[in-house]
Structure 1
Amino acid sequence: MTTSSNVLPQPDSLALPESLALPESLALPESLALPVPRARRIRQGLLHLVAVTAAGLGLAWIFPAVMKTGWADIVAALTSLSAFSLAGLVALWVVGKLAHSVALSAAMPGLDCRRALMLSLTGAAVANVLPLGGAAGVALNYRMSRGWGFPGPAIATYTVVVNLCDVIMKFLLPLALIPLALGGRLPEQLGARAPFLAAGVGGLAAAGFGALGLLACQGLLRRLGAGLRAGSGLCRAVLAVERVVAASRETVVRSWSRLGAGMCAYTVLLLALLTACLRVSGAAVPFGLVLAAFCGERLLTLVGITPAGLGVVELGLAGVLMLAPGVEGAAVASGILLYRLATVGLGVPVGGALLTWWVWRRQQ
């Protein structure tokens, strides 16, 4: 679920609005309509179009300039790749998705890896295409899970645990740069920025451990809820959050090994995929820079300015990878685009096909 939204479905105790869940008719695209006024939907759609257009223009003009090459050279590098190399990259992406499904299945009792993979791919496909896609992806996953018989509170807990684990992993990942820095294996360009890098890594690690602390704050939420029970309108919301946090903590305690192993394996496989894309394209980038670029890419995926971080992630990767001495811009650019096509581009048609199949099965 290299693609996951931070918008959470609500447990049954808060009665998820019917407009958020997909109707029984499963008509598309009305089935994914969000519970917002028409004027707001139009405004959000226009903002989505502006963001996609800006991202596309950024890729078209700024990306080649950063890479110090032209699109003709980038396209030539991409078209020169062998089918065997491309098949290997696709296979690595599939293995990564399977590893991710292990973590997802651990977040909801009774959810097998096959259905977890389907939730991941369909939700990401919707989130990366539609305006307000994150909420639509969550609504779709909610409807699919309810159709499989899972209760609302379990789905809410699943969404919280999955998103929290994803954010924690991305915040703690820069800690992997510390051994390289201590061993003097970071490239000179990053070594010169060691104080800023250390401050950034420390801040992100603190944020990650702070997110872990959310799972231990049930007592605080209970005391806060008790203080608000005397007529406060926030009481119900606090109690609902308390229940979700308690359920999330129980899930993590019960399934921490599968959650941790699945998320770590998925992250390592994504790093391997980025490394393989750069190697296949002929970009000679030191591993320290690849790891630093990967850490930045994982964090940039949290920025919701454009769908799937389009334009933002590519430029972020380019800014770090082009620090490698004597690197060829066209090779690095083709490697970056290969990685993004694998992590985002493949998921859209695959997830769309699975969603179409699911809708067809429901209508039989």
Structure 2
Amino acid sequence: MTKNDDRPGTGRTRTRRRRVVTSVLTGVLSAALVAFLPRAVGATWSQVGGVLGRVSVGSLLLLAVVWIAGLWAHSYVLAASLPGLSKRRGLTLSLTGSAVANVLPLGGAAGTALNFAMVRRWGFSSAAFAGFIAVTTLLNVGSKLGVVALALGLVPILHSASAFASAGLLLAPVPVAVGLSVWILADERVAVMVGGILDRVIRRTRLREQLPALRRSILHLMEAGWRTMSAGMIAYVALQLALLWLCFQVLHVPLALPVLFTALAVERLLTLVPITPGSAGVVEVGTTAALVALGGDPAGVTAGLLLFRGFTYLMEIPVGGVTLAAWSWLQHRTRQAALAG
């Protein structure tokens, strides 16, 4: 007798069910964390709403301009990481990939798959895309850890010695991860060794061969475009800090720049924790709690951070969705024209 588990399609059905259940659970978790946010820091939603009511239409337009400017700066990084990619297409990849990643649980992989399909349609090779993903991931993570490292240097100025020790313990893995990455990039023998270790641990991989090849690809791309990559990433981080500062300014919730920089570091670090789509809920609770611990007004800092995340997380979903729809429509028209010709 054939068991139900052996019937064709059963595995795919179960996979779909798991994805649906995971999506629902992560969505509920995100909503619960955001709903719990004011109470977690000692405020109420009515107080937070009162602060958010101070935003004018003109202020929202200004924030939107700074947000878009940050995305455009990041498109320079993407274009330099994939020679031949235009800034416009780089911005398209950024928006569409983020829209998918911000909606789906562990959506980073789905966003990467979408971007792969797009660059292949534009004529780029799989090898070029692999190098592009490696370089952009390294730069994005490196920039986040760089912000964290700078903020950690401000801790002794802003806090007590015990707070500095606690932060140092929390961020201890950061220099270890950075050091290992630099070591791999500096010496191919280390890449071979690390790849061999991972092959034995993970099994069914060829990282002993692939990691050194990926290292060479990364170094080649960075050697050609490191100036543009560095300038674009620095401009992007600076505009993110400017957007965060403006979010509190338009709400009339002034905070010192070192405090905001520390908050940006916490936010950047928490976005590396993919518990929920786009780390929604986790980032809001963690960063707001950090700002309150640094002396901020609970209602004010909650409103300011929600306004900031409204642009850096929420707005990317509809804007990226519209961008993806427009791209799909243009691709359809191109195929139709090719068939007609």
Give the TM interval when normalised to the shorter protein: 0.7 to 0.9
CA–CA distance in 1 between the matches of 2:328 and 2:95? 14
Alignment partner, residue 277 of structure 1: 247
User: Any conservation in 1 of the 2:266–2:286 contact (CA below 8 Å)?
Assistant: yes
Instruction: Give the CA deviation at 1:353.
Output: 0.6
Change (3 A) 1:53 1:202: closer
Change (3 A) 1:270 1:191: farther
Would you say 1:297 and 2:272 are equivalent positions? no
Would you say 1:167 and 2:137 are equivalent positions? no
Alignment partner, residue 58 of structure 1: 33
Q: How many residues align?
A: 320
CA–CA distance in 2 between the matches of 1:292 and 1:335? 15
* Range that drifts further, 235-244 or 82-91: 235-244
Alignment partner, residue 18 of structure 2: 43
User: 1:1-364 residue pairs with structure 2 within 5 A?
Assistant: 37-60=12-35, 62-177=36-151, 180-181=154-155, 184=157, 186=158, 188=159, 192-201=162-171, 203-222=173-192, 236-325=206-295, 327-364=296-333
Structure 2: 5+ residue stretches without partners: 1-10, 198-202, 334-341
CA–CA distance in 2 between the matches of 1:181 and 1:137? 35
Q: Deviations over 1:188-233 (max 9, x none)?
A: 4x55412222444554233223223332343344578899xxxxx8
Query: What's the Cα RMSD here?
Result: 2.5
- Percent identical pairs in the alignment equals 33
CA–CA distance in 1 between the matches of 2:59 and 2:196? 60
Residue identity matched to 2:86: D
Residue identity matched to 1:362: Q
Alignment partner, residue 17 of structure 1: none
CA–CA distance in 2 between the matches of 1:83 and 1:225? 53
Residue identity matched to 1:350: V
Change (3 A) 1:192 1:237: closer
SS at match of 1:248: helix
Residue identity matched to 2:282: V
CA–CA distance in 1 between the matches of 2:243 and 2:205? 47
Q: Deviations over 1:279-338 (max 9, x none)?
A: 22222322222211111110100111000111100011111111243x432221110110
Q: Deviations over 1:210-257 (max 9, x none)?
A: 223332343344578899xxxxx8684432333222111211122111
Residue identity matched to 1:254: A
Residue identity matched to 1:356: A
Q: Deviations over 1:255-296 (max 9, x none)?
A: 111111111211121111111111222223222222111111
User: Any conservation in 1 of the 2:106–2:275 contact (CA below 8 Å)?
Assistant: no
User: Any conservation in 1 of the 2:131–2:214 contact (CA below 8 Å)?
Assistant: yes
Q: Deviations over 1:123-147 (max 9, x none)?
A: 1101111344222211110111011
Residue identity matched to 1:59: V
User: Any conservation in 1 of the 2:105–2:276 contact (CA below 8 Å)?
Assistant: no
CA–CA distance in 1 between the matches of 2:110 and 2:153? 40
CA–CA distance in 1 between the matches of 2:169 and 2:141? 19
User: Any conservation in 1 of the 2:51–2:251 contact (CA below 8 Å)?
Assistant: yes
CA–CA distance in 2 between the matches of 1:234 and 1:141? 26
Q: Deviations over 1:93-146 (max 9, x none)?
A: 011001111111111111121111100100110111134422221111011101
CA–CA distance in 2 between the matches of 1:76 and 1:217? 56
CA–CA distance in 2 between the matches of 1:305 and 1:200? 18
Q: Deviations over 1:81-104 (max 9, x none)?
A: 111111111111011001111111
TM-score of the pair, normalised by structure 1: 0.81
**Greater share of helix:** 2
User: Any conservation in 2 of the 1:48–1:131 contact (CA below 8 Å)?
Assistant: yes
CA–CA distance in 2 between the matches of 1:206 and 1:159? 22
TM-score of the pair, normalised by structure 2: 0.86
Change (3 A) 1:89 1:191: farther
